[in-house]
């Protein structure tokens, strides 16, 4: 039977506490198959449990404790620590459930704090993702940055209005692209307009003055074109 040993020491033989791990494995007929600071999920199918010097070491050496507990439960593994913790006991099972719940709460709080910070920055500067392409902060066709102020490009914005008018009159995306290209107008990247680029403009609510970011809507964020 094999177990994965996790220790704070790079060399298990140089750790006094790690001697206890060897001794425990010998008494309980377990063989250490890998000594590592990191928990590797692909090893789960070949082991029966995880052993560590202390329960705290699991937090120090494993990137995601919550993910580890989920995998341990999925593969039916046990966790044993030299400080007396054992997930096979009723107490150990309850501790894992409690710690997993704490991890979920902490993860949720962190996500909310991160989103709140991004939303605050976005409301102030409008440069934290959600504009134009991903997180680049580039405004869509018809807008430009003047310092930290988002301004309407007088010439390009007229073409945005024309594109909407053309579509309202039933002109196809391809035909609209041809009209714009024949006029010598190019995208913000300096390329000719494609059918996809025209469709992107027509489906972009940014021109109404509102911003959609992380399932949130910031109204009257900037000057509308339409």
What is the per-residue pLDDT across 50-82, written as a single tens digit (0 to 9) for each?
888 877 777 654 446 777 777 778 888 888 888
Within a domain: 113: no
% of residues, the chain, pLDDT over 70: 66
Same domain, 172 and 101: no
Q: What is the CATH number of the domain that holds 209?
A: 3.90.1750.20
What is the model's pTM? 0.44
Q: What is the pLDDT of residue 118?
A: 55
Q: What is the number of domains present in the chain?
A: 2
Residue 175 or residue 7, greater confidence: 175
Q: Give me the mean pLDDT over the 131-158 stretch.
A: 74
Same domain, 11 and 89: yes
- The span from the CA of 163 to the CA of 93, in Å, is 62
What does the pLDDT look like over 103-129, one tens digit per residue? 677 666 665 665 565 555 555 444 434
Q: What is the pLDDT of residue 169?
A: 92
Same domain, 9 and 96: yes
Within a domain: 136: yes
Same domain, 102 and 166: no
Same domain, 8 and 99: yes
Print the domain residue range for 100.
Answer: 2-106
pLDDT at 159 exceeding the cut of 50: yes
Residue 24 or residue 123, greater confidence: 24
The strand order across the sheet containing 2-6 reads 31-35, 2-6, 49-52, 78-81
Please check whether residue 89 is in contact with residue 83, taking contact to mean a CB–CB distance below 8 angstroms: no
Within a domain: 15: yes
**Hey, what long-range contacts does 27-32 have (CB within 8 A, 24 or more apart)?**
29/1, 30/1, 30/2, 30/3, 31/1, 31/2, 31/3, 32/2, 32/3, 32/4, 32/5
Token pair for residue 158?
A: 């007229």
Same domain, 155 and 100: no
Cα–Cα distances in angstroms (integers) from residue 168 to residues 118, 142, 143, 154, 176, in the given order:
36, 19, 22, 21, 11
């Amino acid at each position: 039977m094999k177990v994965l040993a996790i220790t704070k020491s790079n060399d298990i033989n140089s750790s006094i506490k790690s001697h206890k791990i060897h001794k425990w494995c010998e008494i309980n007929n377990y063989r250490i198959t890998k000594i590592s600071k990191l928990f590797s999920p692909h090893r789960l199918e070949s082991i029966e449990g995880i052993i560590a010097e202390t329960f705290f070491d699991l937090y120090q050496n494993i990137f995601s404790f919550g993910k580890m507990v989920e995998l341990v439960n999925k593969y039916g593994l046990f966790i044993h620590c030299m400080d007396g913790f054992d997930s096979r006991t009723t107490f150990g099972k309850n501790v894992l459930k409690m710690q997993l719940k704490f991890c979920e709460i902490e993860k949720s709080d962190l996500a909310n704090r991160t989103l709140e910070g991004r939303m605050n920055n976005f409301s102030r500067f409008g440069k934290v993702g959600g504009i134009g392409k991903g997180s680049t902060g580039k405004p869509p066709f018809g807008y430009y940055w003047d310092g930290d102020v988002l301004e309407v490009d007088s010439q390009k914005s007229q073409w945005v209005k024309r594109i909407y008018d053309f579509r309202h009159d039933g002109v196809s995306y391809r035909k609209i692209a041809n009209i714009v290209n024949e006029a010598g107008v190019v995208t913000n990247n300096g390329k000719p307009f494609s059918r996809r680029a025209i469709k992107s403009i027509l489906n972009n609510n940014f021109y109404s003055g509102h911003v959609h970011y992380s399932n949130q809507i910031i109204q009257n964020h900037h000057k509308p074109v339409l």
